[in-house]
Amino acid sequence: MSPAAARKIEARHRPMVEVRHLSKIYAGGVEALNAISVDFPEGQLTSLLGPSGCGKTTLLKIIAGLIPATSGEVMVDGRPVTGPGPERAFVFQDFALMPWANVLRNVAFGLELKGVAQSEREAVAEKHIASVGLGGFEHAFPHELSGGMRQRVGLARALAVNAKVLLMDEPFSAVDEQTRRKFQEDLLELIAREHKTFLFVTHSIEEAVYVSDRIVILSKRPSQVSAIVEPEIGRGRDPDQIRRDSAYLDTVETIWQSLKRYLD
């Protein structure tokens, strides 16, 4: 990316999440992140792509305030992160639903913890359950739902607290390919509608190129930013057309070439 292009982006989107010289060494001595610095622009979806075990989950959890960094700092909306905060919500890879609670209670759980009155939080939850396409399942329990439906519950729960930043750790990796494509379409719609900042971890290059405004490619552990790609594919077209588009295919190929060298 040229400096001029970089300035253009900075001007259009101020960074919502700023990661500065972040390092993480786990108790066992594993060095997961090595002085990594990266920005996540407001209102955009930024993907983290990198070899397995390179520290993507670690980075996301530090940004979420779930684990402490060894050194360096994270700023969200201009304020340093010292723990979880109301402006961030996490979508978990394994959904993290409470099996003893129905969909309604699961989705409303963030608000329940905040002490929002039951009728009020259930009204908010119902709205988000409908918005992720689960209307009618409010009283179903997680074990009665498919993997794809469970992840929609996880997404609705994150949306219900109305956080500015959504942290998603491989949210679609546990669902089948058809559901995954549907999810990607829905996610694009969501980004257009909600004006939130999305941090999205994925293993799939195609998925990253398809849904991202920006892709941060990480190197092998200990991780550093190896490249930043901004897929210039026109949105709002027929999905199948996009997937055949040469710009889309070229971007996928470029990223594949840069990731390939990390395979052993």
Partner 1 sequence: MTLIAETKAYAHRGSAWGDILRHPATLWLISAVIVAGAWEIAGRWPISPAFPPFSDTMSALAGLIADGTLGKALIITLKPLAIGLIASVVMGVGLGVLMGLNRFAEWLGSPIFVIAQSAPLAALIPILTFAYGIGLTAKILTVCIMAMPVIVLNSLNAVRHTPATLLDMGHSFLATRRQIIFKIILPAASPVIFAGLRLGCAAGFIGVILAELLITPTGIGDIITYNQSVAEYEKMYAAIFAIMALSVLLISLLEMIETALFHPEKRAQS
Ligand X SMILES: Nc1ncnc2c1ncn2[C@@H]1O[C@H](COP(=O)(O)OP(=O)(O)OP(=O)(O)O)[C@@H](O)[C@H]1O
Of the candidate residues 79, 84, 123, 253, the single one contacting partner 1 (CB under 8 A): 84
DSSP 3-state of 90: strand
E strands in 100-186: 165-169
Separation CA 228–CA 232 (nearest Å): 13
Q: Which positions from 145 through 174 interact with partner 1, judged by CB under 8 A?
A: 145, 161
**Smallest distance, ligand X to C-beta of residue 44, A:** 21
Task: Scan residues 20-49 and list those touching ligand X (CB under 6 A).
Answer: 26, 28, 30, 32
Site string for partner 1, 44-83 (x = CB under 8 A): -----------------x--xxx----------------x
Please return the burial class of 115, using the count of CB atoms within 10 Å of its CB with bins 0-12, 13-18 and 19+.
exposed
Nearest CB to ligand X, comparing residues 53 and 135: 53
Closest CA to 124 of 100, 85, 158: 158
Q: What share of the chain is helix, strand, coil (3-state, %, to 5)?
A: 40, 25, 35
Nearest in space to 62 (alpha carbons), one of 94, 25, 96 = 25
Q: Does 130 bind partner 1 (CB under 8 A)?
A: no
Taking CB under 6 A as the criterion, the residue among 56, 121, 150, 157 binding ligand X is 56
| Minimum CB distance to ligand X smaller for 56 or for 88 | 56
- When binding is defined by CB under 8 A, the residue of 30, 98, 130, 192 that contacts partner 1 is 98
Give me the residue whose beta carbon is nearest to Mg ion.
57
Between CA 110 and CA 100 the distance in angstroms is 16
CA distance linking residue 44 with residue 76, whole number of Å = 14
Closest CB to partner 1 among residues 57, 204: 57
- Between residues 165 and 252, which has the closer beta carbon with respect to partner 1? 165
Sign of dihedral through CA atoms 7, 10, 13, 19? Answer: positive
Give the interface with ligand X as residue ranges (CB under 6 A): 26, 28, 30, 32, 52-58, 221
Give the interface with partner 1 as residue ranges (CB under 8 A): 61, 64-66, 83-86, 88-90, 92, 94, 96, 98-102, 109-110, 112-114, 136-137, 140-145, 161
